[in-house]
A and B are shown apart, each in its own frame.
Chain A
Amino acid sequence: MTTTIALIRDTFREAFARRIFWGFFACCSLLLLFLTFIMRIDVVQGAIATVTIFGRSNPSTDVQGLVTGTQSVIAMILYFAGMALAVFASAGLVAAVFEPGRIELLLSKPVSRTHLLLGRYLGNVLVVAANILYLVGGSWIIFGVKTNVWGIGFLISSLYTIFIFAVLLAVLVLVGVLWDSSAVAIMITFAIMIITPILAQKSQIERLLSSEWSRDVVRVLYYSLPKTADVSVMIRHMILNQPIGSWMPVWSTALFGAVVLGLGLWRFQRRSF
């Protein structure tokens, strides 16, 4: 446990030193300040409200709908833009471990390679999770105080965002172990983030394709890669209190993450430094 805590603390320290943590924290704080001071919600007769942004009033609307709608916008910004930022920032944290002169010292300690890499991985997930929970938790409290709407869908959605980040981080780890390059790791992870929403339109793509083998390729890619777009739809449904059709996107994405992380650990075990 001492070792795991030390590895997590080291990742936080490095994230602080690289200004990654503080950069995220500043962005989240700005958004929370915006929600606190700029957006005014006057609740009239319980269910009807007037929203004022930058002093301009918008037509009255349903409070529950207004809050969940705004929360789903925040969740989507966090899910796509925040995720891209987190991946970009984390690539350096992963590659830093494999720097010559640093890795030898880590490997000389009485700690297994699996433990070393998982400790770093966990630390990195927690750095991003701390900021996501700060933003989501903070905005949830602000909305709750202002409107008395305390639905937990928004809070739970943050766990799915952290989960998708953890899966993408596994890709960063694998590429980092294979090629020691944060640039290549970012490129491959971004490629996955761009391709998977396209693959989510599987049925439309299949209709456009003429040959069966090309349709098979699309299906294989869809089922084997993480389903970031499908999970984003699930998050929206969760916040808007709508039913969730299938959990397949979650478990298949988790399976992808586990396999990729496993490959990263396996390669790290066998690699000579």
Chain B
Amino acid sequence: MAAYAIETEGLTKVFRTAFSARELRAVDDISLRVPAGSTYGLLGPNGAGKTTFVKMLLSCTHQTAGRAMVFGKDTRHAEARRPIGYLPENHRFPTYMTGFDMLDFYGALSGMATNARRKRIPELLNMVGLDERAHGLRLGKYSKGMLQRVGLAQALIHSPKLLVLDEPSDGVDPVGRKHIRDILHALEQQGVTIFLNSHLLSEVELFCREVAIIQKGKLALTGSVEDLTQGSGYHVEGMHVPEGVAKELRTRARSFTSDNGSLRLLFATRGDANQAVDLMRSSGCEIESLGRTRSTLEEVFMKTVEGGVRP
């Protein structure tokens, strides 16, 4: 089995307008590797090129240069798309179909035999939280949240090894979001690679182990969420610190806050933090907490987007 679920090499898409020399580089030379079995988030502001990138992965949009591979196979070949389950953003499912019909149709297109589809569809509809009544209801009567759930079931119909989800919780209430997250966690346990394209940074931070940020068509940042949100300093929080010790510590700290008898200090180095702990302990203070500082994914995202593309 290939080590990477998704692998792109110099993937580029240039849109040219007819009768004009103007061109738009929607995706510019992106080389990305998504390890098999990982949960990967694709982030970027509107118009950054995320959707074009995903469409090239699925061969909906033809690349101008480079190549995209799924489990080592070029996705321009139909067979390479067999292990992919896809939930598009702004999907338009056929409203004349029932939930059951839709899964049956897309299951057949994915190469599933009739008997296998008949067995799998009720299981899946129940799994995504659509009750018996919804199975035979036309999609035109579904709410946005129900469509999102049936869309997820559609993506899972043929038990894919790679799930590409574009805004999967769009229009879903918080309980539904939690439910979808639980389903995705269960799939992650089964070794399914999940590639998530979402504007909801908190959702990506909660679910994904790794992320890539695209900015103006270029790959701006990649890495594990753990590493990217790791801060550069250390924090120490002590209770009832005597004024003399507090004064001494404040001069050494990068910044500090005090509240209700607690003193929270931020230090640039591990050594400074250790000295602060020693000083507090020797003066009989209690240590409330200590550790490395952390950033949120949103902070990392904003810093990357506002700071421009890294060389």
* A binding-site residues for B, Cβ under 8 Å: 2-3, 5-7, 9-10, 13-14, 16-18, 99-112, 115, 270, 272-273
Total interface residues in chain B, CB < 8 Å = 35
CA distance A191 to B33 in the complex (A): 52
* Central interface residue in A5, A17, A112, by most chain B CB within 10 Å: A17
Q: Return B59 CB to nearest CB of chain A, in Å.
A: 6
Question: Does the CB pair B101–A2 fall under 8 Å?
Answer: no
CA distance A98 to B224 in the complex (A): 38
Q: Which residues of B contact A14 (CB under 8 A)?
A: 94, 96
Question: Does the CB pair A13–B96 fall under 8 Å?
Answer: yes
Question: Does the CB pair A273–B60 fall under 8 Å?
Answer: yes
Q: Return B268 CB to nearest CB of chain A, in Å.
A: 49
Which of B108-116, B232-240, B299-307 is the contact stretch? B108-116
The verdict on B211 contacting chain A, using a C-beta distance below 8 Å, is no
CA distance A241 to B103 in the complex (A): 51
Q: Return B263 CB to nearest CB of chain A, in Å.
A: 55
* Central interface residue in A5, A104, A107, A108, by most chain B CB within 10 Å: A108
Which of B84-92, B128-136, B290-298 is the contact stretch? B84-92
The verdict on B81 contacting chain A, using a C-beta distance below 8 Å, is yes
The verdict on B250 contacting chain A, using a C-beta distance below 8 Å, is no
Q: Return A4 CB to nearest CB of chain B, in Å.
A: 10
Q: Return B10 CB to nearest CB of chain A, in Å.
A: 18
CA distance A136 to B93 in the complex (A): 36
Q: Which of these, A100, A103, A107, A110, contacts B82 with CB under 8 Å?
A: A110
Q: Which residues of A contact B81 (CB under 8 A)?
A: 108-110
Known: A2-B111, A3-B108, A110-B111. A104 touches B78 (CB 8 A): no
Known: A13-B96, A273-B60. A101 touches B90 (CB 8 A): yes
CA distance A7 to B109 in the complex (A): 8
Question: Does the CB pair A108–B86 fall under 8 Å?
Answer: yes
Q: Which residues of A contact B95 (CB under 8 A)?
A: 17
Question: Does the CB pair A108–B84 fall under 8 Å?
Answer: yes
| Sample of 23 A–B contacts (CB below 8 Å) | A2-B108, A6-B108, A13-B96, A101-B88, A102-B91, A102-B92, A102-B93, A102-B94, A104-B55, A104-B86, A105-B86, A105-B91, A107-B58, A108-B86, A108-B88, A109-B109, A109-B110, A110-B109, A110-B110, A111-B78, A272-B60, A272-B61, A272-B62
